[in-house]
Structure 1
Amino acid sequence: MLASPAKIFASTVLDKLWKRVTRGGNLVDLDDEARHQLRITAKKLRYAAEFFSPLCMGKAETKRHKRFITAMEGLQDQLGSLNDLATAPDMLSKLALSGVPGAGDLVSAADKARF
């Protein structure tokens, strides 16, 4: 059956990406660049998992796969929000909006604690 070798390949690829995501450590302790790299790796993992979804057979496997994709979407959203907070000051500066009243309220270090 061809699905079996494909499942082994998919498992190898997904395991490799998963290890790269999980070795990132505590999100709070990561600097902005490391967190951005983690975001990229998480995106690759999610897209790979979506690509291999036709290999999921049976209700339980399909349900587990959907839960994983949902969790990865949530992780990507959180990492994206943190990335927005990290890049916003530079963006405001480039757009010459740093001095505009209220611009500082858009981004603060305290906002990172929410994520």
Structure 2
Amino acid sequence: GTYELLALGRGLSADRQKQYFTQLPSGSWQVKKEIRDMVTFREHNLLERFSFGKFDVVLCRNVLIYFSSDLKKDILMRTHGVLKTGGYLILGASESLNGLNPYYEMVQCRPGIIYRAK
């Protein structure tokens, strides 16, 4: 995908922007090709079965707040099943892993928090 400067400015330093992104003629920014070539992006309906391999990182930002506690717990358990040991789960700022501490550990990642699969 491509990103506007405003989106990159939310927590990304200028040094990291230069290191990982290339500015396009339109003025927007894109992740450098050598990084894109190492990454697989997938969209998935969280209510369906997780039938893919293991991942190093799963981004599930600002969506769990719309589910009941039981469904949220089910989704987070299934997400743990597709994360490699030591893999990272990145949630939105208003989301947490209440009651799932045996499966994840919290990692400070200024300015936010991410979770590592045990």
**TM-score category, normalised to shorter length:** under 0.3
TM-score, normalised by the number of residues in structure 2: 0.26
**Normalized per residue, which structure has more strand?**
2
**Normalized per residue, which structure has more helix?**
1
Larger radius of gyration: 1
